Chain A
């Protein structure tokens, strides 16, 4: 562990990765319980078009990806809340559309596009200073969101109508949640990649659900499993020279399997 920290780019990767692993598993705990798993995948994939637009225009791909992902996330949310379109169907439209747009625009980029695979499958070597700062900013914003709106999120998730009767602005909380999720997704792209990203949102909370008996324990365990997946994944990938993003998600999967097995054998 210590020797890894001595390698400059690994320090960025480790510190940045820890922040996004914590942020995405915290937000993921509500993604899972609100049955929005497909939205996470949809936002992640829609950011592909954003990345390509950024590369095409010569601006920072992260900025254009964030704009595109937030727009997609908010559009899916708006359509499903106001026009009774199922969230799943809205994602089913935006997900392939953004991917096709990205693939079409990719053809217009002149010359070699070496970074595309890194964006799709994650490349920890791509985590630079900017990504490091962005990841800690997104974790800070996530923690702030939980401090301010944890009870409101729990209440709106459990029973939105009664939450409104008690004066909670459930739409505001929902849209803030979508914007924050889009931000964390975009910042996580370089760690695990667009294709594997929903794993970081969904797998740690599912492992936490095996044990949690209340919401605070659930989000706490979720963050713990997120950090554990990241750390074990990154160490394994370093030791065995495996692709980092894939190893992180695979570690998460093993943690989920072990959690499920423990739950199964401990069941009264």
Chain B
């Protein structure tokens, strides 16, 4: 069974089609990056996958189920979350949110131990009593990943996770993703701007610009032709050693 199937998905805001007939799927254990320019509908697509928005046409299936019924399978890391910095909430409490089961269903000791284990796994157990608002961008991102992981998700969805990360932690972050995939066999869907870094981590890339322009293995997808189609400007791409690079052609005025 496919971990994620998106079939002929249409969505519009105020009469304008933001997504037009999007089709793509992910096998269990696969890591898919969704790439595209600003306004391509990436975040809208994620919200449809998460069941936060309803499509005008088409459907989303997560392990064969509609999103509202597949919530137990999903871990979600939102884009650049900016809660009130004065909110007195510890890193540990944020992770515990991931174990929410419903009204009046309070977590017990096994859940608290699980939250500690996951904090240790992402390398920030020592920060568990620190307030979320006092942490650095990279530390906060790890807390949010821990909150998603504590649910033991079969499908992990990340929305531009590299936003707000200090460059020194970016590499570590992608290593963490690899570790999660290897250890748990989690299917990972990540929206990203960072073409260079993800191409080394993901198994496939879906290029989105209102519709899926192309979906395939990184080396097949990241061609000058596709990038031109996606970014609309004179973007060209070439391989250089193991790390692919993206350059933009000099503008001719």
Contact = CB atoms under 8 A, between A and B. Distances in A.
Interface of A: 33-35, 148-149, 151-152, 154-155, 157-159, 161-168, 209, 212-215, 217-218
Contact of A213 (B51, B90, B104): B90
Contacts of A163: 97
A54 to B, nearest CB: 36
B241 interface: no
B113 interface: no
A161 B88 CA distance: 20
B76 interface: yes
A215 B52 contact: no
Interface in B55-109: 71, 74, 76, 78, 81, 83-84, 86-90, 93-94, 97-98, 100, 102-104, 106
A166 B68 CA distance: 9
Contact of A149 (B103, B129, B147): B103
B131 interface: yes
A256 B175 CA distance: 47
Given A148-B104, A157-B83, A165 B51 contact: yes
Residue in B84, B88, B89 whose Cβ sees the most chain A Cβ within 10 Å: B88
Given A159-B78, A165-B52, A215 B89 contact: yes
A218 B90 CA distance: 12
Given A151-B100, A155-B97, A165 B50 contact: yes
Nearest to B83: A158
Contact of A218 (B74, B81, B88, B129): B88
A222 to B, nearest CB: 11
A166 B51 CA distance: 10
Contacts of A34: 84
A158 B78 CA distance: 12
B102 to A, nearest CB: 7
B97 A161 contact: no
B71 A158 contact: no
Contact of A212 (B51, B74, B88): B88
Contacts of B103: 148-149, 152
Interface of B: 50-52, 71, 74, 76, 78, 81, 83-84, 86-90, 93-94, 97-98, 100, 102-104, 106, 129, 131-132, 147
- Main secondary structure, interface of A, reads helix
Chain B interface main SS type? loop
Contact of A165 (B71, B90, B104, B106): B71
Contacts of B129: 213
A176 to B, nearest CB: 12
Contacts of A33: 84, 86-87
A47 to B, nearest CB: 27
The 3 closest A-B pairs by CB, nearest first: A212-B88, A158-B83, A218-B88
Nearest to B51: A165
26 contacts: A33-B86, A148-B104, A149-B103, A154-B89, A157-B83, A157-B84, A158-B132, A159-B81, A159-B83, A159-B97, A161-B76, A162-B76, A162-B147, A163-B97, A164-B52, A165-B74, A166-B71, A166-B100, A167-B102, A213-B129, A214-B89, A214-B90, A214-B93, A215-B87, A215-B89, A218-B88
Given A35-B84, A168-B100, A161 B52 contact: yes
B65 to A, nearest CB: 14
A158 B86 contact: no
Given A159-B81, A212-B88, A214-B88, 10 more contacts: A34-B84, A148-B103, A151-B100, A158-B89, A158-B132, A165-B71, A166-B97, A213-B88, A215-B87, A218-B88
A4 B129 CA distance: 45
Nearest to B50: A165
Contacts of A162: 76, 78, 97, 147
A151 B86 CA distance: 18
Give the most central of A154, A162, A166: most B CB within 10 Å. A162
Contacts of A154: 89, 93, 97
B166 to A, nearest CB: 21
Contacts of A159: 78, 81, 83, 97
Nearest to A29: B88
B93 to A, nearest CB: 6
Contacts of B93: 154, 214-215
Among A149, A154, A155, A166, the most chain B Cβ lie within 10 Å of the Cβ of: A166
Nearest to B94: A158
Nearest to B82: A159
A161 B100 contact: no
